[in-house]
Structure 1
């Protein structure tokens, strides 16, 4: 036994010596010394390869492969494992709760660490969407509600965006003095907010005033105060230079003024845009060299940066400049503990049990509740009574599990839709009737038919499925089997069949369909990425070049007893994968008949709005009111208004539950529907939260992080990046529902405003808030500043606190107001104090004459 012990000790000593044969492996040295040593040992080719998002392994030095690309917008996204999905970012902004978003980011980083550790243990190191560098948060200003990616942001206000974004970064990156729990990345730097279809060619040139006072403050806060690890530069050009090659943004401001020492990644394909779309550079070599010169360390896309080797040889960039970027990248990896024993890195101990833990799921539900905004509640229509006997639930989002997850999302084990939440709330004590009634933009629905017994392949029921490990259906399939149907959803990297993963794969589904009658049947093919549909070798649907969600239909005229050969071909590229083939008959909804069917209900809940199936990143969607992921109109689709008009005629209480990632103009609804609830895209427990609000188990307390305008005519040109007449800070019209607005089932009043007697760098503002209603509830106390200066905003949020008050209770709230809060930034980014009288308003929403008169806002002034 003694001999065995010494033999093991000798073996361990040899192993340890092998692991520390280079200084970069010596954990007693500083990260800087270790990084310098490692980079000094790399060849030029190895250095350049490390600047791709998919960085390959370097076996001779024991450097593992690593993919920098991962997402954690509202929970870990696109991972093959089940994770907790929180409300969409815009919904989290509606909570106005920095503690909640910080905890959400902490929990998400825990799950990310669990995935990283699990993946490494399973030999999956280097795969996409399992790393610890997350390209989140999106802190672009949601300047125009037509932008489909605005749902990924924290809204239209720089102060709210910066404050929520900083809390997210601190939660995600952790508080360890040596190691990062995860690495956050502020995107998209800078001045980027649509339109989606032209983002690769647009050149934006806002005024320096707008640049410093609107587009940069959140980035400044995350870089200089929250110590964000990374920054992503945007697709568009800024003042004629691509953002990733901008002198002003990348060198002057980010590196020189803000002293940013972290890493910068391009948006995916943005360096290709230099020479292919912006036409500012002649070729890949010069584009890559210029991007690196401007401090872009990683290229997402793995293409153009390969030309850096030749660029060095041609003298377009020095190897020393390459070293700067490579050192930044390895510094991040060292700070994440990737080159140290797991015993030294506390986060490396995070177990798989953290995935979808009870605490995480409970917090997702909490944030879903906090995010819901009560927009209207005429005659106390809400809350509904739980003793209700019959309730009718209608609408395209009522049972839509896709909508509640938003975009850039993971997949939870369980999703609760609005319909399910209401059913769970009422149990067997009430009749819950559901009809979809309408699609988002039309009233003609495909009534799905169960025709599974009409599909067969060589004597077996179902479809012959062939799976290929490439996008082109080339070669021999890696797997074959009989599938009962074509109904599939996968996360990227998830196992499709056998060992085939959902990434750059293709599939062919074949069956013989036997018609049971003469007439017609409509097939609907709904898929991500690309697909073809063939009937008897004739191509009837082709979306092989699609790269986002989309469903298409084809009507087949049938003869009874005839057999038709159906073939679905599908490929998946990146992101989520899905393919669905369904069949049935189209039927137009008769609103009058529907109203007659439901008029005996005690209440009607219509769950409508829009969906991430319609708004999002560079989507090929062209339904009325939508284009390329953006919206061409902010009006609620007409078909939904027409249905609500018919429902109102029943005389029964109608509740409109709106799901959206952006502002929706709904003037008729605001005037005529008694209760309107904005539920956003509420995450995995959205339906539970909605039911809790509808039936009074949670008192709504969300506030709008964006302005809800009355109509399209309120909006300037989408491509105009001037802030003139945009957002609550500069909009001169009357909003339908303003930024910061939200109702409660109780009431709050304000008094005893205390302002500083003299000006100092930090000043205290105090106010007393009282719950004057008959329910406990939460209030979001908001502080606004209005100063007199050229181009000054009408008012600007400079403080907010969420607080809980029991009925009859009052508390004093304090805000720390700084001289920066009483200033504007000049064209060089320097703060200039207001002069004269500055109005300070504190209340439950933006100040106006009505809120001041009703004591829902108190005002005073500071003389500068």
Structure 2
């Protein structure tokens, strides 16, 4: 009621009783075109006359609210993947969503459109962003992504706690040249692997949208991907929002050169389905000008803008942005904010415990407090709680050393970090850290705090986290003199080094170029704390990797010279005061047992923008576990890392080996509880651990079928298989039964037959012996993590749609299919430890051959290929095939039905006259399996890569019946399809 007793009239877009579509349509009609255009940028301004507040798409929340100050930090995403526990992951998502709401209440800059989770499959463990994904398997990834987004979204049917966006659409697994490389993805891999990771969460209704990846797929940038409309938007009736990755809209012209002008690029992105443009940080003017230019040129019209803005407003409506706050909270049943609660702290510990994977154990574990009077805790990560690029600031933390000292007493824990103690000498004297820095306070310990979010807020994925920058200039630079300073040197592999002063601070380089002992930890979009030593004359040059320049002695102290500066300026001689392995050996010899904690720093040698080149453990860390084991056979190696390592020697030599991702704030406590048996480990590997990187295909080879990659197709013997993980107890499996009801129903019995209570992860796999097409050796179709007391038995039931369990993408007919035949269903403890098997028979007509006379052959729908790459048929949609490097390519199409005979053929192809090989012949040769040549067609220059022509050829020897067809391509052409007629 108004003050005079009359009714208050609100515009329809404020009326919570109306459907979202009605509210959005009303608001759109009230906005001017300029106001709508402005909303397409990540930082949408407010509209004061309508009472609309500013809105920002994008808030990182991969394993806790990131970049906005103190928050609960959960294990890395790959660690959450190792839990194999969707219900736990859902609760983590719920906690993160509640903290986002709580932080939002304190600071409106905290976004509710969260860009999480990352569902790119961990196809190659060398990928720098391995830490961000859940698993190499689409079934497991989909289950966990669905769970996390459900937690973030909340349970209310209309009101959303946060609006999650899945990253990164599509087929994105390389950081090397990530904005210019193209992932060649055949239709089977596209549908069975890459799309499958996104499909489940979208169909579950828990996702607000997706973010396209930087890379191209089949020659076309993901930001103009036709799959956004042809696949993504067909999976749900919900209005999904597509948010661009940072800077990617500009990449369409600037680095990818896919379009000539930014107006064309922004129009194409909008027409493809991109709704929000993350570009030029908070400066929206360039995006606005480009959209206006596209409108003026007639590349798009106002309805295109309205479609995108309508989706954004629908998301804002679901988040309560169009409601009165009290009405929204009430309608949502209390979408409240809970921050750093005891429940969240307990959940962080539970998640860290469940993420620990026991890789090998020869009876050393669990340790007993009575049997271990003194414990050596050693290694570069033994007293660390590492953060990654998408971590929040720690409110509290625990390291392995701290947690074990708290448990046993500090006097019973012997520590050595295993770093080399070194001195650096120049011709001008010893390198020294000035007393003001060397004797100052060490790195600040992060403990309970009531601080609010930081003052600076990163605009997008390319922005710096203020907590991880090292721009301090209040400390004096390093100097040279008569007295040396001992420095701790860590070698992270590949010659990448960090150096720490006695204070514990890292040597770093600020904007003024001087080297200081000023950083609490390595970090930043460009890490400023890493160096390398390059052999030079009788010493070394010290190169700063962040700038590429060399460290030299200058007026005022050590400084990084300009990148093109002389290498002759300063030669450093390295003196090793003590090798890290010697200190570790001494500590190990004093103890009853040893825990070596090794692994990676998430900011170094494998992270966003940087792929790894090897799976090898850094040589310095290899020496540490070997030295510890030589001094004390009771040595366990704990790998705390964002990705797998090839550690075959350690697995063979050591009595115990564990892996955990960086476990967030409770990492140390969780590890201590597992080591001493408070928790029986039950984490399982979410990806294959290979014996060597030599077993991996090229990083850019996305065809997992042809390259035999991931556990699905790998033909070798892995070091540790997908799904592997041991326990302190034993589990036995009873008979497995499978029946066809509403889908495929699998029933199995599991018993805890060992001495401890514990969790078992029951894994259900399907295989198709004798399949007519190459299918996975076995593929995960269901799983469940179940808690069993000693002696407890449980009967488990799983129901899976037949198509999901046994189907594949039939390239011959362009659809999902399940072939008739006998399939095997397995239950077990890993993909290689199958305890029970049953069979199920699918009946039906035999597969039909390719109807080539009626449908022709799409070149991309091959069965087998060699020497080819998939390319964009047009800039809008469709795929074609080209020879890799304009050389020779071969295609095989099986079971082509030519009926009574095909007498002619049309080859649809394009050839750029200005392209490489334009002066050479470009031919398409078609022949049968017996070597009979049907025709050889020369493709003339057509005037451009998208200018297709149809070249007709008679078939003097008409093929008849069902036959395999072989095609050989030569030269710089693009083959789109072949048509046949009788």
TM-score (structure 1 length as normaliser): 0.82
Taking a change above 3 Å as real, the CA distance of residues 218 and 515 of structure 1, as seen in their structure-2 partners, is closer
Q: How does 1:175-186 map to 2 (within 5 A)?
A: 175-186=155-166
Alignment partner of 2:113 out of 116, 130, 133: 133
Is this contact kept in 2: 1:781–1:800, CA < 8 A? yes
Alignment partner of 2:65 out of 76, 100, 110: 76
Of 447-456 and 360-369, more deviation after overlay is shown by: 447-456
SS in 2 for 1:684: helix
Taking a change above 3 Å as real, the CA distance of residues 450 and 106 of structure 1, as seen in their structure-2 partners, is farther
Structure 2 residue 824 is matched with structure 1 residue 843: no
Structure 2 residue 171 is matched with structure 1 residue 188: no
Alignment partner of 1:198 out of 170, 177, 192: 177
Taking a change above 3 Å as real, the CA distance of residues 154 and 64 of structure 1, as seen in their structure-2 partners, is same
Structure 2 residue 589 is matched with structure 1 residue 635: no
Rounded to whole Å, the distance in 2 between the matches of 1:310 and 1:516 is 58
Is this contact kept in 1: 2:380–2:417, CA < 8 A? yes
Q: Partner of 1:277 in structure 2?
A: 255
Structure 2 residue 354 is matched with structure 1 residue 370: yes
Taking a change above 3 Å as real, the CA distance of residues 507 and 813 of structure 1, as seen in their structure-2 partners, is closer
**CA positional deviation for 1:829:** 6.5
Is this contact kept in 2: 1:656–1:675, CA < 8 A? yes
Q: Partner of 1:578 in structure 2?
A: none
**CA positional deviation for 1:282:** 0.6
1:806-863 CA-to-partner distances (Å, cap 9, x unmatched) read: 112211111113212121122477321133221111011124xxx45xxxx0111112
Structure 2 residue 625 is matched with structure 1 residue 644: yes
**CA positional deviation for 1:415:** 0.8
SS in 1 for 2:61: coil
Rounded to whole Å, the distance in 2 between the matches of 1:381 and 1:802 is 22
Alignment partner of 1:415 out of 393, 397, 409: 397
Q: Partner of 1:112 in structure 2?
A: 100
Rounded to whole Å, the distance in 2 between the matches of 1:769 and 1:148 is 38
**CA positional deviation for 1:685:** 0.2
Taking a change above 3 Å as real, the CA distance of residues 790 and 485 of structure 1, as seen in their structure-2 partners, is closer
1:61-115 CA-to-partner distances (Å, cap 9, x unmatched) read: 22111111101111111112x2111111111111111110111111111111111
TM-score (structure 2 length as normaliser): 0.72
Q: Partner of 1:95 in structure 2?
A: 83
Structure 2 residue 598 is matched with structure 1 residue 608: yes
Taking a change above 3 Å as real, the CA distance of residues 350 and 814 of structure 1, as seen in their structure-2 partners, is closer
Taking a change above 3 Å as real, the CA distance of residues 514 and 564 of structure 1, as seen in their structure-2 partners, is farther
Structure 2 residue 20 is matched with structure 1 residue 31: yes
Q: Partner of 2:696 in structure 1?
A: 715
Taking a change above 3 Å as real, the CA distance of residues 495 and 315 of structure 1, as seen in their structure-2 partners, is closer
Alignment partner of 1:744 out of 727, 744, 757: 727
Alignment partner of 1:547 out of 523, 526, 550: 526
Taking a change above 3 Å as real, the CA distance of residues 704 and 485 of structure 1, as seen in their structure-2 partners, is closer
Rounded to whole Å, the distance in 2 between the matches of 1:155 and 1:244 is 24
Is this contact kept in 1: 2:596–2:637, CA < 8 A? yes
**CA positional deviation for 1:380:** 3.8
SS in 1 for 2:831: coil
1:4-27 CA-to-partner distances (Å, cap 9, x unmatched) read: xxxxx865979x95xx55332333
Q: Partner of 1:325 in structure 2?
A: 308
Taking a change above 3 Å as real, the CA distance of residues 259 and 279 of structure 1, as seen in their structure-2 partners, is farther
Rounded to whole Å, the distance in 1 between the matches of 2:195 and 2:255 is 25
Structure 2 residue 243 is matched with structure 1 residue 265: yes
1:442-490 CA-to-partner distances (Å, cap 9, x unmatched) read: x86999999674469xxxx99xxxxxxxxxxxxxxxxxxxxx8997999
Alignment partner of 2:137 out of 157, 168, 175: 157
Is this contact kept in 2: 1:390–1:433, CA < 8 A? yes
Of 260-269 and 797-806, more deviation after overlay is shown by: 260-269
Is this contact kept in 2: 1:486–1:509, CA < 8 A? no
Determine which structure has the larger helix proportion and give its number. 1
Is this contact kept in 1: 2:71–2:99, CA < 8 A? yes
Q: Which protein is bigger by CA-based radius of gyration?
A: 2
Rounded to whole Å, the distance in 2 between the matches of 1:496 and 1:156 is 35
Rounded to whole Å, the distance in 1 between the matches of 2:755 and 2:470 is 60
Q: Partner of 1:822 in structure 2?
A: 806
1:769-826 CA-to-partner distances (Å, cap 9, x unmatched) read: 1111111111000100001241210100011111111112211111113212121122
Is this contact kept in 1: 2:106–2:452, CA < 8 A? no
Task: Give the number of aligned pairs.
Answer: 765
Taking a change above 3 Å as real, the CA distance of residues 534 and 650 of structure 1, as seen in their structure-2 partners, is closer
Q: Partner of 1:673 in structure 2?
A: 654
Alignment partner of 2:794 out of 811, 817, 820: 811
Rounded to whole Å, the distance in 2 between the matches of 1:12 and 1:551 is 70
1:25-81 CA-to-partner distances (Å, cap 9, x unmatched) read: 33333222221121122222221211111111122222111111101111111112x
Alignment partner of 2:186 out of 207, 220, 239: 207
Is this contact kept in 1: 2:478–2:515, CA < 8 A? no
Is this contact kept in 2: 1:84–1:412, CA < 8 A? yes
Is this contact kept in 2: 1:535–1:564, CA < 8 A? no
Rounded to whole Å, the distance in 1 between the matches of 2:666 and 2:385 is 10
Is this contact kept in 1: 2:470–2:528, CA < 8 A? no
Q: How does 1:94-493 map to 2 (within 5 A)?
A: 94-119=82-107, 125=108, 127=109, 130-194=110-174, 196-247=175-226, 249-256=227-234, 261-302=239-280, 305-306=287-288, 307-346=290-329, 354-402=338-386, 405-427=387-409, 430-438=411-419, 453-454=435-436
Is this contact kept in 2: 1:114–1:350, CA < 8 A? no
Taking a change above 3 Å as real, the CA distance of residues 674 and 26 of structure 1, as seen in their structure-2 partners, is same
Rounded to whole Å, the distance in 2 between the matches of 1:301 and 1:503 is 23
Uncovered stretches (5+) of structure 2, i.e. residues with no partner: 458-464, 488-498, 517-521, 533-540, 544-552, 561-573, 843-982
Taking a change above 3 Å as real, the CA distance of residues 317 and 666 of structure 1, as seen in their structure-2 partners, is same
Taking a change above 3 Å as real, the CA distance of residues 266 and 514 of structure 1, as seen in their structure-2 partners, is closer
Taking a change above 3 Å as real, the CA distance of residues 611 and 688 of structure 1, as seen in their structure-2 partners, is same
**CA positional deviation for 1:272:** 1.1
1:597-632 CA-to-partner distances (Å, cap 9, x unmatched) read: 53121111110012212255444xxxxxxxxx2110
**CA positional deviation for 1:673:** 1.1
Rounded to whole Å, the distance in 2 between the matches of 1:596 and 1:105 is 44
Rounded to whole Å, the distance in 1 between the matches of 2:337 and 2:150 is 23
**CA positional deviation for 1:738:** 0.3
Is this contact kept in 2: 1:406–1:612, CA < 8 A? yes
Taking a change above 3 Å as real, the CA distance of residues 71 and 660 of structure 1, as seen in their structure-2 partners, is same
Alignment partner of 1:777 out of 755, 758, 777: 758
**CA positional deviation for 1:246:** 1.8
Rounded to whole Å, the distance in 2 between the matches of 1:504 and 1:647 is 33
Alignment partner of 1:589 out of 572, 579, 597: 579
SS in 2 for 1:148: coil
RMSD: 3.6
Uncovered stretches (5+) of structure 1, i.e. residues with no partner: 1-8, 120-124, 463-483, 537-542, 557-561, 570-583, 620-628
Is this contact kept in 2: 1:220–1:258, CA < 8 A? no
Is this contact kept in 2: 1:656–1:676, CA < 8 A? yes
Is this contact kept in 2: 1:143–1:193, CA < 8 A? yes
Taking a change above 3 Å as real, the CA distance of residues 423 and 208 of structure 1, as seen in their structure-2 partners, is same
1:184-243 CA-to-partner distances (Å, cap 9, x unmatched) read: 11111111111x131100111211011111111121112223341111111111122111
Rounded to whole Å, the distance in 1 between the matches of 2:393 and 2:314 is 31
**CA positional deviation for 1:293:** 0.7
